[in-house]
Amino acid sequence: MTAPLMKNDSSMAIEVGYELRFRCPQPTPMVVMLNIHDSRASDIIAPDRVTPTPSVPVTTFRDAFGNLCSLVVAPQGEICLTSNAVVADSGNPDPSMPWLEQRPVEVLPRDALLFLLGSRYCETDVLSETAWQLFGNTPTGWRRVQAICDFVHRHITFGYGLSSETKTAAQAFQDRQGVCRDFTHLAVTFCRCMNIPARYCTGYLSDIGQPPPYSPMDFAAWFEAYIGDGWYTFDPRNNQPRIGRILIARGRDAADVALTTSFGSSKLESFRVWTAERGA
């Protein structure tokens, strides 16, 4: 694991946003999950409103996990969804607390138990034996979650085009390649197999504090594990504490936090995401 990043004057403002262009052969309902999560509501300086062009009504609602969703009916032809927000951030890297211990299943918060179960992309039944063989002798608690992240980081080769929308954790384990969602699905599955609640997260992740060259900007996937008395961030794709991580949504796996879901035919024609320190 790479040493944590250090900053001196750490507080900052981060500009985040996106531009998504779709083409639909007929009017098509779409649910989009692109708003910054309520856990960062007090940090929002300029709001992140979903703005469709051409203008159509936007209806907001909460899903079963409390994520903010927007429903639009895309007209026939092209629709562009955009947003640009500014978020205050501490500028500190993700915390590292290796002394935290795992809690027994029987004393976990009841709402954490859901995140011990298998789900669409996280086949705990398929990978349970493998998980215990790999991690049964590792130190418990935070250190076990980190051992899982270290393994996944080494095991999977990252590359755009090395995944698919249907690839599961077991498939990623087998073919050893994928994108950040595959790293996350595999680590989440191993954690659940080891009786550690783990939930999938998606959001913005900047290159603040990272050396160039920089990859094309995209939405990122990571996860949170319940260790000690709370949920903590882990990122098997990057496998180091990062600065400027801004959550959009949480769920059991990627199926629960799809950024866009079209109820009819639609084609994504262009996709652009940005996140950077304001004034940098």
Q: What is the CATH number of domain 105-256?
A: 3.10.620.30
**pLDDT classification of 9: cutoffs 50, 70, 90:** low
As a whole number of angstroms, the distance between CA 78 and CA 102 comes to 49
Map tokens 């900007």 to a residue.
217
The whole-number pLDDT of residue 214 equals 79
Sequence-separated (6 or more) residues with CB below 8 Å from residue 88:
11, 12, 13, 14, 43, 44, 45
Residue 23, both tokens = 């083409």
12-90+259-277: what fold?
Immunoglobulin-like (2.60.40)
Question: Nearest-5° angle of CA 177, CA 181, CA 184?
Answer: 90
Q: What does the pLDDT read at residue 280?
A: 63
pLDDT in tens, 48-83: 999 999 999 999 999 999 999 999 999 999 999 999
Tokens 């940005």, located at residue: 274
Q: pLDDT by residue (tens digit) across 210-248?
A: 888 877 788 999 999 999 999 999 999 999 999 999 999
Closest CA to 14 of 250, 259, 219, 246: 246
Q: What does the pLDDT look like over 115-130, one tens digit per residue? A: 999 999 999 999 999 9
> Coil, strand, or helix at residue 111?
helix
**pLDDT (0 to 100) of residue 8:** 43
SS3 243: coil
Q: Where are the alpha helices (DSSP H) in 96-228?
A: 124-135, 142-155, 169-175, 180-193
Mean pLDDT estimate for the chain? 94
**Whether the predicted pLDDT of 6 surpasses 70:** no
User: What is the mean predicted confidence (pLDDT) over 167-189?
Assistant: 97
Residue 1: pLDDT over 60? no
What's the whole-model pTM score? 0.93
pLDDT tops 50 at residue 156: yes
Q: Can you give the residue ranges of every domain in the chain?
A: 12-90+259-277, 105-256
SS (H, E, C) 17-69: EEEEEEEECCCEEEEECCCCCHHHHHHEEECCCCEEECCCCCEEEECCCCCEE
Is the pLDDT confidence value at 4 over 50? Answer: no
